């Protein structure tokens, strides 16, 4: 029996043969594909004189089979996994890391790349080729290819230790989260909580052996609703304190030393590679370019948001005072009274909106929006194999009716799927020998499922999520690059959310909502005043929320641009940085760094600012659509050509300027958020 992963797929559009793939095919296929990839590298090294074509371009073209197989494997590990696949992932991941390191630490290969890089000005390269050369060269440098002897060893040791420390950080947070449970015995202590949340709390208690009681944990789906809806102040305080003292209690799960070690090693690593700080190292490959740009950016938002944030907090404090005579608004009160106030101000809730957002209609609306803007059409194609019966495969065609992409949509939760929503690809786009090889794109979500009596009716939040992920998908589907490593969503991190976030804007526009938002029973179109309410509610407490994001961004930057030798007392350091943005009384003993997984476990170090950064780009870019019309063809075509199709072929600042005619400005976002007057 041949391994279907290694054989020619012989499927429509060369799509993954999911119906043939079994778990036991992965490991042998990956091993064989690594072999093939190593042959590619050997071939490159055996060429006599290094040229752009035989080295830089050839590297981009190398290891294609390995790319396809590992992509299928890791996509399934997120969307349709099981114990066996998870076990395989632990085996396969180190194989791939080793393989990548073998390439980036290959001195012969690096010498070839470096030689071409030194001559780059004489080579007459196109912009895309220059970008590929620069990116390839930098990937070697940033991985330490220039280091020799002791320094090279030191870098490997640091990398290993960093991987261990990040893991340990995450394990401590997880252990702290998992070991905590708070039981409630009297039902009246649950006043204010929606029935669904109470049910979930009863179920947790039952699982923990206390039937007839209710239990809360520090998991988001348990903690957040309790803080938002529980009338009982003591309950909120108890949970708040538990949440905000995670991994900081001086026991074996305390993360403070782990953080200090992480910061020191990141700093050492950056210095070894020739950068002033970890932030400088990270930001070199970001649209923002330097720590100074990020700090100025955050400071601008701090100045603009603070007065409005203070007003937001005052409004809630006054409201709580009037409502229940609350003397001091504490941190565990803010979410609760904010929610009550929001209800009073906007009279808007999910259940009011759901009937207008039947999933099938919303998907149709997303497709229509893509057609009106970019001329793309979608047709379901059941000949394309899918990895689960819930998944629908489509063929997308461009405005000339030519094949554009394969598109998989996977909407409902199930046991083998992780939480959240994301876009991914099974095959990237590239062009070789004059043939444009089109991509296979997928979006995966966890939306409200249909029941026996009701179709899938989405919350407004789920609608914007769908538009968001579809925006990423457009970035993938409309890709028109030459090189796979620069194509589609392969762009700098602080640029990748522009296509997704801008696409969310259409959900707030009547012209777009009228395409699909109608009551699933009566067919009534969504009323204009409801759209107005959605818009207003979206701007609720924008001052406070902005300031909060800015505070996390500032803390992240402070950690990664300071010499860690100066951070002796982590708690004091955090307090000092957060002072500028604190609007509620500080609670002694609490801290956030020890649970700040984004920057100490995930990949957001020196990158937290990028949430706000992407919003600036998205609001500024959408402003042009608002001026010219949300379905204006010229603007859509320019956005397609300069952003969506261009991928990472050039620096994002250049691409953005081409679309907008100038650099991005924060004013559109500040206006939309009500932080400056319109």
Please report, for the chain, how many H helices and E strands are present, in that order: 27, 9
Q: What is the Cα–Cα distance from 467 to 473, expressed in whole angstroms?
A: 10
HEC-encoded secondary structure of 508-519: HCHHHHCCCCEC
Q: Which residue has the tokens 């026996």?
A: 452
State the minimum distance, in angstroms, from the CB of residue 531 to Zn ion.
Answer: 24
State the minimum distance, in angstroms, from the CB of residue 534 to Zn ion.
Answer: 21
Q: What are phi and psi of 95, to 5 degrees?
A: -60, -40
Nearer to Zn ion, 54 or 459 (CB): 459
For the four alpha carbons of 67, 54, 646 and 396, in that order, the dihedral sign comes to: negative
Tell me whether residue 574 is one of the annotated catalytic residues.
no
Nearer to Zn ion, 500 or 635 (CB): 500
Q: What would the two tokens of residue 223 be?
A: 């903690």
Q: What is the Cα–Cα distance from 183 to 580, expressed in whole angstroms?
A: 36
State the minimum distance, in angstroms, from the CB of residue 186 to Zn ion.
Answer: 42
Burial 276-287 (b: 16+ CB within 10 A, else e): ebbbbbbbeebb
Nearer to Zn ion, 473 or 577 (CB): 473
Q: What would the two tokens of residue 287 be?
A: 């649209």
How would you classify the pairing of strands 182-184 and 435-437? unpaired
- Per-residue contact string for residues 526-565; x = within reach of Zn ion by CB under 5 A: ----------------------------------------
State the minimum distance, in angstroms, from the CB of residue 495 to Zn ion.
Answer: 12
Name the nearest CA neighbour of 480 among 424, 434, 438, 440.
438
Q: What are phi and psi of 238, to 5 degrees?
A: -55, -50
- Which residue in the list 80, 462, 469, 518 is annotated as catalytic? 469
Q: Does 256 participate in binding Zn ion (rule CB under 5 A)? A: no
Nearer to Zn ion, 230 or 477 (CB): 477
Nearer to Zn ion, 55 or 500 (CB): 500
Residues sharing a CB contact under 8 Å with residue 135, sequence separation 6 or more, in sequence order: 485, 486, 648
Task: Name the H helices within 80-148.
Answer: 83-104, 107-118, 127-142
State the minimum distance, in angstroms, from the CB of residue 421 to Zn ion.
Answer: 8
- Show the beta-strand stretches assigned E in 548-595: none
Residues sharing a CB contact under 8 Å with residue 173, sequence separation 6 or more, in sequence order: 246, 247, 255, 594, 595, 597, 601
State the minimum distance, in angstroms, from the CB of residue 420 to Zn ion.
Answer: 10
Which range, of 19-27, 233-241, 494-502, 531-539, touches Zn ion by CB under 5 A? 494-502
Nearer to Zn ion, 456 or 500 (CB): 500
Q: What is the largest CA-CA distance in the chain?
A: 82
Helix axes 107-118, 127-142, angle to 10 degrees: 140
Q: What would the two tokens of residue 262 be?
A: 């992480």
Q: What is the Cα–Cα distance from 332 to 241, expressed in whole angstroms?
A: 9
Nearer to Zn ion, 277 or 500 (CB): 500
State the minimum distance, in angstroms, from the CB of residue 301 to Zn ion.
Answer: 20
Which range, of 141-149, 326-334, 345-353, 496-504, touches Zn ion by CB under 5 A? 496-504
Name the residue number minimizing CB distance to Zn ion: 500
State the minimum distance, in angstroms, from the CB of residue 665 to Zn ion.
Answer: 22
Q: How far is CA 63 from CA 93, 128, 135, 275, 502, in A?
A: 16, 21, 17, 31, 34
For the four alpha carbons of 89, 91, 95 and 97, in that order, the dihedral sign comes to: positive
Which range, of 13-21, 326-334, 498-506, 566-574, touches Zn ion by CB under 5 A? 498-506
Q: Tell me which of 277, 429, 500, 601 binds Zn ion, using CB under 5 A.
A: 500
Which range, of 318-326, 499-507, 550-558, 598-606, touches Zn ion by CB under 5 A? 499-507
Query: Taking the chain, what is the end-to-end CA distance rounded to the nearest angstrom?
Result: 67
- Show the beta-strand stretches assigned E in 192-269: 214-216
Nearer to Zn ion, 500 or 542 (CB): 500
Q: What are phi and psi of 458, to 5 degrees?
A: -90, 150
Which range, of 43-51, 128-136, 144-152, 500-508, touches Zn ion by CB under 5 A? 500-508
Q: What would the two tokens of residue 370 be?
A: 């893509």
State the minimum distance, in angstroms, from the CB of residue 623 to Zn ion.
Answer: 20
Nearer to Zn ion, 500 or 610 (CB): 500
State the minimum distance, in angstroms, from the CB of residue 468 to Zn ion.
Answer: 6
Number of residues located near Zn ion, criterion CB under 5 A: 1
Task: Name the H helices within 105-232.
Answer: 107-118, 127-142, 149-179, 195-207, 220-229
Nearer to Zn ion, 476 or 564 (CB): 476
Positions in the binding site for Zn ion (CB under 5 A): 500
Residues belonging to the active site: 469
């Amino acid at each position: 029996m041949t391994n279907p992963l290694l054989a020619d797929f012989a499927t429509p559009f060369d799509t993954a043969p999911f119906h043939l793939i079994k778990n036991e095919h992965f490991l042998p296929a990956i091993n064989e594909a690594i072999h093939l990839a190593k042959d590619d590298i050997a071939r490159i090294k055996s060429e006599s004189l290094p040229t752009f074509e035989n080295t830089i371009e050839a590297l981009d073209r190398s290891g294609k089979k390995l790319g396809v197989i590992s992509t299928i494997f890791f996509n399934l590990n997120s969307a349709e996994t099981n114990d066996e696949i998870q076990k395989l992932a632990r085996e396969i991941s180190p194989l791939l890391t080793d393989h990548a390191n073998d390439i980036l630490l290959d001195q012969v290969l690096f010498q070839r790349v470096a030689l071409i890089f030194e001559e780059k000005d004489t080579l007459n390269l196109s912009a895309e080729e220059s970008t590929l050369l620069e990116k390839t060269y930098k990937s070697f440098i940033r991985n330490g290819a220039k280091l020799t002897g002791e320094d090279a060893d030191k870098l490997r040791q640091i990398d290993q230790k960093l991987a261990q420390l990040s893991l340990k950080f995450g394990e401590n947070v997880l252990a702290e989260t998992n070991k905590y449970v708070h039981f409630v015995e009297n039902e009246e202590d649950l006043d204010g909580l929606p029935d669904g949340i109470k049910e979930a709390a009863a179920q947790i208690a039952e699982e923990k052996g206390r039937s007839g009681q209710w239990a809360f944990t520090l998991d988001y789906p348990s903690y957040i609703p309790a803080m938002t809806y529980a009338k009982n102040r003591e309950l909120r305080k108890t949970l708040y304190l538990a949440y905000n003292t995670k991994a900081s209690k001086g026991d074996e799960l305390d993360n403070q030393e782990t953080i200090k070690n992480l910061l020191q090693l990141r700093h050492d690593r950056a210095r070894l590679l020739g950068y002033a700080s970890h932030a400088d190292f990270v930001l070199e490959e970001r649209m923002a370019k330097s720590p100074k740009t990020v700090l100025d950016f955050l400071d601008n938002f701090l100045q603009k948001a603070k007065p409005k944030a203070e007003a937001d907090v005052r409004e809630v404090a006054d409201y709580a005072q009037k409502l229940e005579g609350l003397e001091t608004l504490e941190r565990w009160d803010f979410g609760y009274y904010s929610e009550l106030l929001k209800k009073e101000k906007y009279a808007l809730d999910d259940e009011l909106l759901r009937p207008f957002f039947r999933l099938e209609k919303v998907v149709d609306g997303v497709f229509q929006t893509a057609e009106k803007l970019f001329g793309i059409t979608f047709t379901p194609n059941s000949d394309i194999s899918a990895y689960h019966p819930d998944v629908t495969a489509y063929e997308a065609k461009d405005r000339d009716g030519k094949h554009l992409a394969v598109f998989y949509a996977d909407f409902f939760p199930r046991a083998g799927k992780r939480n959240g929503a994301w876009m991914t690809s099974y095959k990237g786009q590239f062009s070789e020998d004059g043939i444009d090889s089109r991509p296979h794109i997928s979006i995966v979500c966890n939306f409200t499922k249909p029941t026996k009596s009701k179709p899938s009716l989405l919350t407004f939040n789920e609608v914007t999520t769908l538009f968001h992920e579809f925006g990423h998908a457009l970035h993938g589907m409309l890709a028109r690059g030459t090189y796979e490593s620069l194509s589609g969503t392969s762009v700098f991190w602080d640029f990748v959310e522009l296509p997704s976030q801008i696409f969310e804007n259409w959900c707030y526009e009547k012209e777009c909502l009228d395409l699909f938002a109608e009551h699933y029973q009566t067919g009534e179109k969504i009323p204009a005043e409801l759209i107005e309410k959605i818009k207003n509610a979206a701007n609720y407490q924008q001052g406070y929320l902005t300031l909060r994001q800015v505070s996390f961004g500032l803390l992240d930057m402070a950690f990664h641009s300071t010499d860690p030798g100066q951070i002796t007392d982590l708690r004091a350091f955090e307090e000092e940085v957060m002072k500028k943005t604190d609007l509620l009384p500080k609670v002694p003993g609490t801290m956030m760094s020890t649970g700040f997984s984004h920057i100490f476990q995930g990949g957001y170090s020196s990158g937290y600012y990028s949430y706000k950064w992407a919003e600036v780009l998205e609001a500024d870019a959408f402003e042009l659509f608002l001026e010219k019309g949300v379905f204006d063809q010229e603007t859509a075509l320019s956005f397609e050509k300069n952003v969506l199709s261009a991928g990472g072929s050039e620096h994002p600042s250049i691409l953005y300027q081409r679309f907008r005619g100038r650099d991005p400005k924060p004013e559109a976002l500040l206006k939309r958020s009500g932080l400056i007057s319109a």
